[in-house]
Amino acid sequence: MSGILIEIKNLKLTLSNTKILDKINMTIEPGKIHCLIGPNGGGKTSLLKCILGQVPYEGEIFISYDDTKTIGYVPQLLDFDKTLPITVENFLSIVYQKKPCFLGISGKYRKILDDLLKKIGMYEKRKRLIGNLSGGEKQRLLLAQAIYPEPNLLILDEPFTGIDKLGEDYFKSIIRDLKSKGITILWVHHNLKQVIEMADTVTCIKKEIQFSGNPKKILDEEKILTAFS
Ligand SMILES: Nc1ncnc2c1ncn2[C@@H]1O[C@H](COP(=O)(O)OP(=O)(O)OP(=O)(O)O)[C@@H](O)[C@H]1O
Ligand SMILES: [Mg+2]
């Protein structure tokens, strides 16, 4: 499995006449865990949206992507309508298979889907309506839709928000497993202790890049205070 490389040159993003990102230059090496940190409103989600082609930016973003590769994305927030008649397993089957979910799950996908539900600890809750899931359960479901088919790049936007210790453990073990397969992981994260524990590189963004490097070496108190103040 080959991880995707991303190279960003002189990226600038302006929305509603406000400069959101400026002078962003960074390389996201394949097969590594890269964390993005920074204060609220610093532009982390906006940078992910630029990479995913969801907003018009200036500058260059090179992604070593072709149609044999897959990108998985866990967004920061996704609210489901409470009355939507879609269960957890319907949701995953919509993502995976072409036939409508009300016609049932294809034999081909049944085992894949059950394995994934077990992997995220949601097998027992597979018949629940997605609108009734708790915040942490929604996050787990969003992770499940992003990891099949196995991605070459996994983009996570604060997936631990509202998630408990057990949920965190599911996420961490899935992320470690993907990393061991050479998959690139780009991860917006606010828990600096976990950034030090898991990431190969960290970049702090507050409109511009504040600092970037190996989290074990770079995340000292002074830098964090300057960046977040
Ligand atoms: N469509 C838009 N028009 C104008 N401003 C926007 C738009 N989208 C985002 N912004 C602004 O861009 C800035 C960066 O937002 P962004 O969501 O990227 O921050 P973030 O670093 O992800 O913050 P958080 O940690 O709170 O998730 C914010 O000030 C936000 O209000
Ligand atoms: Mg954000």
pLDDT digits (tens, 9 = 90+) for 21-52: 999 999 999 999 999 999 999 999 999 999 99
Task: Give the Cα separation of 113 and 127 in Å (integer).
Answer: 13
Q: Is the pLDDT of residue 219 over 90?
A: no
Min mean pLDDT across 15-24, 207-216, 220-229 is at: 220-229
Tell which atom from ligand 1 comes closest to the C-alpha of 158: 27
Closest CA to 190 of 209, 162, 218: 162
Task: Give the Cα separation of 190 and 5 in Å (integer).
Answer: 23
Task: Give the Cα separation of 159 and 217 in Å (integer).
Answer: 25
Q: What are phi and psi of 123, to 5 degrees?
A: -60, -45
CB 39 within 8 Å of CB 228: yes
Q: What angle do CA 172, 87, 118 make, to 5 degrees?
A: 35
Residue where the block lists tokens 């453990």: 169
DSSP character for 221? H
For the stretch 106-148, pLDDT in tens is: 888 889 999 999 988 999 999 999 999 988 899 999 999 999 8
Element (H, E) at 48: helix 44-51
124 CB burial (10 A radius; 0-12, 13-18, 19+): exposed
Stronger pLDDT, 10 or 67, i.e. the higher one: 10
- Domains (ranges, CATH) in the chain? 6-79+135-228 (3.40.50.300), 81-132 (no CATH)
Task: Give the Cα separation of 55 and 16 in Å (integer).
Answer: 12
CB 160 within 8 Å of CB 191: yes
Mean of pLDDT over the chain: 91
Distance 156 CA to ligand 1 centre (A): 16
Distance 215 CA to ligand 2 centre (A): 20
Q: Which two tokens stand for residue 142?
A: 């969003």
Q: Whose CA is nearest to atom 25 of ligand 1?
A: 40
Q: Is the pLDDT of residue 228 over 80?
A: no
